[in-house]
Amino acid sequence: MHPSIVRAGFVRAAASAIAALLVAASCTSPAPSQPAGESGGVGAPASTTVLTNGKIALLDSKNTIVVALAYRDGVILAVGTNEQAKQAAGPGAQVVDLKGRTVVPGLIDGTLHGVRNSVDCFLRQVRHDTTASRQDALAAYTARAKDLAPNTWIFTWSGWNVNQLDTIGMFTKAELDAALPNNPVLIQAVGFTGIQTNARGLAAMGVTAASTDPGVLKDSSGQPTGQLTGTAAALGRATMGKQLRTVSIDEQVACMKAFLREANRVGLTAWDDPAGNDQFDPQGRQQELLAGEHGYQAINQIHRDAQMTARIVLHFSCFTTGVPALDCVKQYTPTAVSLVGDDWLRIGGMGEELTTNMTNGL
């Protein structure tokens, strides 16, 4: 192999590893909102940074912990003491005082449907991954609604179990009405059949006590409880999905940036993204979420504006019903994403699944 190709591959790998190392996360104590920084005089390039007074885990065979690290343009200059790192960086480097916080190599997720948090706006989601208090969970919906216009759908789709709450069970319609008097909501969870909504959600769907769909569960007085199954649940997903499909590209960018911030907050700096199917399809089909190029534009814009904070290998999904997989590949590959193929965003080929649309039945 040509030496320049080997070197290019090594530099890309090194840059990825170094950038991943720069996630500072203290899992044991609250961190200041912003690390204290200081600037030296003229000398080192502006991209040179020194992290000092930290607990920097190298994750080598000896589990070495050092207090300082210096890096420039994705390359580590030195690890060790504060003095060693500053000397390697030279005068003029940006110095960040970690104040005892921990720095670990960034986490890499092998399969994460992250890019769809642009079209399935992350700023309209509430997650309960680590929530144990029922009241805290309900308060999270109220807090989310404060940043959204009335009648904007809010949803919780995965990552939790109703049995993890201190008061076990799905939220009742009355609880959700109190938490979200002006916004419809859809909630799905392990340990609960179907999805749960509130009065605003039922109204948006046109569901009333007179509804005859057996998927609309009712109490002893004949009033909907908010629990929806079967075709009623599909109607809920379709109603919310219709609103989400009107989110502008600029709004999608804001939603995706919010997801990137959350990913970085928990130490995630890279992932393999198999795109994803539309979880709000009216009939629950595996309709391709990114059909019509709509779902790729936000991440493409973030990449083009040099605002990526995680490295993503992106795959094209072709779930669209009635469209042969090869035709889907031909349709979307040349047009969906432009100027892509560096260490921040790279096309990884087709996936997550193609065989569902292959005409030979494989």
**pLDDT tens for each residue of 20-37:** 454 444 443 333 333 344
Q: Which CATH class name applies to 124-244?
A: alpha beta
pLDDT tens sequence across 103-129: 998 999 999 989 989 989 999 999 999
Is pLDDT of 230 > 60? Answer: yes
CATH number, span 3-105: 2.30.40.10
3-105 and 124-244: identical CATH topology: no
Q: Residue 162 corresponds to which tokens in the numbers above?
A: 């109703």
Could you state, in order of their start, the residue ranges of all structural domains in the chain?
3-105, 124-244, 249-357
Band of pLDDT at residue 329, cut at 50, 70 and 90: low
Mean pLDDT of 211-231: 97
Nearest-angstrom CA–CA distance, 341 and 173: 47
pTM score, whole prediction: 0.78
- Cβ atoms of 221 and 196 within 8 Å: the answer is no
Least confident of 12-16, 138-142, 147-151: 12-16
Band of pLDDT at residue 339, cut at 50, 70 and 90: low
Least confident of 33-42, 108-117, 218-227, 256-265: 33-42
Is pLDDT of 11 > 50? Answer: no
Band of pLDDT at residue 137, cut at 50, 70 and 90: very high
Is pLDDT of 332 > 80? Answer: no
User: What is the per-residue pLDDT for 178?
Assistant: 99
